[in-house]
């Protein structure tokens, strides 16, 4: 076979030839900005040449601190094509973590949205490697105290649109993403050109997410999170239209884009999809979602009740995906195979509540505490281990690598069972399991059952200390709009009582206004554990 490197910019080369007039649409205020893949090609090339003029070369880190929009997409291609490394910075991190990852990555230039510049201004003196800031706007009147600041459009106007990607080894780094760690500092994960390209080829397969040229793709997942799940690259590879949500999207804005742009495929975390349902119920507004063939949901387990609600209320298939930053990020996708078509409707719904089967190209093990392989029988629970061409082999410049990457396997920390057909059912992160009297209780199983209550909007289950049993489960519940002030502890417990052994039942239920979220929309149980560390259950 030819020694032909797999490189990210080849996607843009292809789509600018075969699909030059397909569109990238970005929400801007009450309107949208539109341009084509041909425009993206020219502007990404200008960005590459402009960054070279600022002294950026192969291997240098270019940070982005931005929302989902077309200028951010230009960086997704312009930075890797010149051999530099795209570091997408999570805009919702605490200031200490922001300073840490920018210094740890060694960012040379940071592209920043004007409305986010005030977050970086007071921290600029702590950045050890940043030489330039580029404000991603065409507003020449915008001012900032960031040192050596440039206007994005001015830089592009002064640069050539000549396309001249550098020659690279396919194992060269293309991207750098940091985990949104709930303990300790975030950990950096390098994405190679080869890994990104193979990941996109996998995502486009019909039995995985199945991106296609006819799609209009709207990622609600932020472009700063886990490579935006590969969506910008896979969409470009197949020539799909891309719809980007712009600055501070809310459920109403997303619903309007679904309708106006006839979106066919969208991707995001469960809290987004819960929020959209809640918005529709509160507002009473209706939208035409008939174009949506599928919504992919990942980041945390999707309650069966949410899958059912989207199908029954909106006639939309909400499909579970599973992955992590260390996996570029997709590991599995929930497609029902033909051999399972004879299942009853109830069985199909239960299957839809799993994280699906592992995608082609990866290997997986299920192991116990001693590293022994467990049976795929749907009953035994253990930790999931993975390896494959888009799975990281270490964290970037981080001694914690030895705790996670062992003997060629990535230890995910996720506790799960796997059935005989290979479908994964995530139980918990190790740190989120409740160990009561020496026996494990899955917080995710309890949460999924509680959220099915018609009066519940969100629920998180955590461990609280117990004098006799060491730990016991506490349910933290957010009532929906109709049930606020009415929903009681016994309503919740009675609703799930027949689904669990008595010793699994939460010792108490506390009603709160909101479940704390991490920077990427997952439940932040660390905050809840700290809040209720001295809680005494009420009899």
Q: Is 248 exposed, middle or buried (0-12, 13-18, 19+ CB in 10 A)?
A: exposed
Angstrom distance (rounded) from CA 88 to CA 379: 39
Asked whether the beta carbons of 381 and 440 are under 8 A apart, the reply is yes
Residue 318, SS3? strand
Active-site choice (213, 294, 440, 499): 440
Q: Is 409 a catalytic residue?
A: no
- The DSSP secondary-structure symbol of 517 reads B
- The DSSP secondary-structure symbol of 521 reads S
Residue 473's DSSP bridge partners are 463
Task: Tell me the CB-side half-sphere exposure of residue 140, using CA atoms within 13 A.
Answer: 4
| Sign, CA torsion 67/68/71/73 | positive
- Cis before 329? omega within 30: yes
Could you tell me the two tokens for 65? 């601190």
Q: Is 435 a catalytic residue?
A: yes
Angstrom distance (rounded) from CA 531 to CA 137: 41
- The DSSP secondary-structure symbol of 530 reads H
Q: Is 482 a catalytic residue?
A: no
Active-site choice (179, 234, 271, 448): 179
Active-site choice (363, 435, 503, 530): 435
Angstrom distance (rounded) from CA 366 to CA 426: 11
Helical axes 304-314 vs 345-352, angle rounded to 10°: 120
- DSSP H helices in 172-245: 193-203, 231-238
Q: Is 46 exposed, middle or buried (0-12, 13-18, 19+ CB in 10 A)?
A: buried
Q: Is 128 a catalytic residue?
A: no
Distance between terminal CA atoms of the chain? 70
Residues with catalytic function: 179, 326, 435, 440
């Amino acid at each position: 076979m030819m020694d032909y490197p797999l490189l990210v910019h080849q996607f843009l080369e292809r789509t600018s030839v075969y699909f030059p007039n397909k569109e990238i649409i970005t929400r801007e205020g009450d309107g949208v900005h539109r341009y084509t893949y041909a425009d993206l090609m020219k502007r990404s090339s200008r960005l590459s040449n402009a960054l070279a003029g600022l002294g950026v070369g192969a291997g240098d880190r270019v940070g982005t601190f931005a929302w989902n929009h077309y200028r951010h997409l230009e960086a997704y291609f312009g930075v890797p094509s010149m051999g530099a490394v795209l570091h997408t910075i999570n805009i919702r991190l605490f200031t200490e973590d922001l300073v840490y990852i920018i210094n740890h990555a060694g960012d040379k230039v940071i592209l920043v949205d004007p409305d986010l510049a005030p977050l970086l201004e007071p921290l600029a003196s702590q950045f050890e490697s940043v030489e330039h800031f580029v404000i991603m706007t065409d507003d020449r009147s915008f001012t900032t105290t960031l040192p050596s600041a440039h206007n994005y459009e001015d830089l592009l106007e002064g640069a050539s649109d000549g396309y001249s990607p550098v020659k690279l080894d396919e194992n060269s780094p293309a991207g750098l993403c940091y985990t949104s760690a709930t303990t300790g500092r975030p950990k950096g994960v390098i994405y190679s050109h080869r890994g990104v390209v193979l990941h996109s080829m996998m995502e486009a397969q019909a039995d995985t997410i199945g991106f296609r040229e006819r799609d209009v793709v709207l990622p609600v997942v932020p472009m700063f999170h886990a490579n935006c799940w590969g969506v910008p690259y896979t969409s470009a590879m197949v020539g799909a239209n891309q719809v980007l949500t712009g600055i501070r999207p809310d459920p109403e804005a997303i619903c309007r884009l679904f309708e106006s742009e006839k979106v066919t495929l969208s991707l995001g975390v469960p809290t987004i999809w819960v929020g959209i349902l809640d918005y529709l119920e509160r507002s009473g507004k209706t939208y035409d979602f008939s174009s949506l063939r599928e919504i992919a949901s990942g980041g945390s387990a999707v309650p069966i009740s949410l899958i059912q609600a989207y199908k029954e209320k909106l006639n939309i298939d909400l499909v579970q995906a599973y992955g992590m930053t260390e996996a570029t990020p997709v590991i599995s996708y929930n497609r029902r195979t033909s051999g399972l078509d004879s299942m009853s409707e109830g069985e199909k719904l239960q299957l839809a509540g799993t994280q699906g089967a592992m995608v082609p190209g990866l290997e997986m093990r299920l192991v116990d505490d001693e590293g022994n392989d467990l049976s795929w029988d749907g009953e035994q629970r253990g930790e999931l281990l993975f390896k494959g061409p888009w799975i990281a082999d270490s964290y970037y410049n981080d001694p914690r690598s030895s705790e996670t990457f062992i003997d060629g396997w990535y230890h995910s920390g996720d506790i799960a069972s796997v059935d005989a057909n290979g479908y994964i059912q995530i139980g918990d992160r190790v740190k989120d399991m409740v160990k009561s009297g020496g026996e494990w209780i899955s917080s995710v199983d309890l949460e999924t059952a509680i959220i099915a209550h018609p009066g519940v909007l969100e629920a998180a289950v955590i461990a609280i200390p117990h004098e006799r049993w060491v730990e016991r489960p506490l349910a933290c519940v957010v009532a929906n709009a109709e049930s606020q002030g009415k929903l009681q502890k016994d309503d919740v417990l009675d609703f799930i009582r027949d689904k669990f052994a008595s010793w699994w039942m939460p010792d108490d239920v506390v009603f709160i206004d909101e479940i704390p979220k991490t920077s990427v929309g997952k439940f932040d149980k660390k905050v809840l554990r700290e809040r209720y560390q001295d809680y005494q259950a009420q009899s």
